[in-house]
Amino acid sequence: MSIHPLAAVSPEARLGLGVTIGAFASVESDVELGDHCVVASGAVIKSGVTAGSHNEICEHAVIGGAPQHVARPADVGRVIIGDHNVFREHVTVHRGLKPGCDTVVGSSNYVMAGGHFGHDSVVGNSCIFANGSMLGGHVQIEDKAFVSGAVAVHQFCRIGRLAMVGGHARVTQDIPPYMLVDGQSGCIVGLNVVGLRRSGHTAEDIADLKNAYRIIYRRGLSWQEVLETLRTEFRAGPVLHLRDFLGSGKRGFTQERRAPPNATLRLRVADDAPAVAPTLRSKAG
């Protein structure tokens, strides 16, 4: 164990083997850090945090802050963290709003600088959160999701397994598993095929998900017809998880971005433009 003499560590904190605490870091009472955790200079681990092993809390991150709520009770929940997570500079993770209701972060997640997890958030395993991504209270993120920079996720929303959300998106409804969300429009633009391949899904799995995508977004079925069709046409594979996710939604789901019929790129051409302009226009659509 290595604790810098300028660190402030409560004698009531429980530290595992090989823990490293940097200068000006603060570890309060009622904190438990597993083996080989690293708390960098200026980071703050507040009371009510339990973390597993091999976690890295970088400079000026604050883990276990009080929930941001105007009606915050005197007693609040905890922050429960798994193993092998990285919380980069200035990340904030807040405790659950009520006793017994915790903010939970799984294992092997990477949270880049300025990320924020609100109270009662539940984050799975192997997720990536880019700089400035923000989770409101009670947000749920499933395994291997990718949340890009400056994404704001509204409270109580869910982001499904292996979904990828583009930068600056505003997430106000659930994002189903395996989907790709455009940051500018905040709409779904297809499947996260690259992520599916990298995670080991087979060509058959991806083909099934493409068929399910058409059922959900292209056939014009009612919602109950969508769920029933998914149930009857797919007996195994990732579509089962997709259907379960859709069947448990309460906030509605992010819609698909579809270009209007006969959409073209139109170029404005000045009256005195050279004769080549019509050719350019035709090639542009």
Among candidate residues 137, 160, 166, 195, the one labeled active-site is 137
What are the helix (H) ranges across 11-100?
Answer: none
Burial class (CB in 10 A: 0-12, 13-18, 19+), 190: middle
Burial class (CB in 10 A: 0-12, 13-18, 19+), 28: middle
Active-site annotation holds for 137: yes
Active-site annotation holds for 174: no
- 3-state SS assignment for residue 92: strand
Neighbours of 34 (CB within 10 A): 20
Q: Distance between terminal CA atoms of the chain?
A: 66
- 3-state SS assignment for residue 206: helix
Distance CA 241, CA 231 (A): 11
Among candidate residues 54, 119, 138, 201, the one labeled active-site is 119
What are the helix (H) ranges across the chain?
Answer: 193-198, 203-217, 223-233, 238-247, 277-284
Using CA atoms of 136, 166, 115, 68 in order, give the dihedral in degrees to the nearest 10. -10
Among candidate residues 102, 120, 143, 208, the one labeled active-site is 120
Active-site annotation holds for 271: no
Residue 39 · residue 57 · CB < 8 Å: yes
Residue 91 · residue 61 · CB < 8 Å: yes
Would you please indicate which residues are annotated as catalytic (active-site) residues? 119-120, 137
